[in-house]
Amino acid sequence: MSPDNHTRQPHIHIDHLFLAVAEGVGPVSEPVHEVRWFTAAEIAEQPDIAEDLRVQAKDLFGRVAEASTR
């Protein structure tokens, strides 16, 4: 726990990043939690995504692309 550029108080900051390969563009049910879907290009441009998550997402998109060609 330590201060950062969001607050000077010690705190824990938790981000969640999930990767999925969608079979279609439409939802199949009502989500229980808010979910936002992004393409690789959108991840690179989205201003409210933390830089460390952006780097992780870029890596994951690359791994999926690589795995899909095997």
pTM of the entire structure? 0.56
pLDDT value at residue 34? 78
Phi, psi of 34 (to 5 degrees): -65, 130
Q: CA-to-CA distance for 19 and 29, rounded, in angstroms? A: 18
Beta bridge partners of 2: 11
pLDDT value at residue 31? 79
pLDDT value at residue 1? 60
pLDDT value at residue 36? 80
**C-alpha Rg value of the chain to the nearest Å:** 15
Q: CA-to-CA distance for 9 and 66, rounded, in angstroms? A: 41
Q: What are the structural domain ranges in the chain?
A: 17-70
Chunked into runs of 10 residues, the chain (70 residues) has average pLDDT values of: 69 72 80 81 87 87 83
pLDDT value at residue 50? 81
Question: Amino acid identity, residue 44?
Answer: A
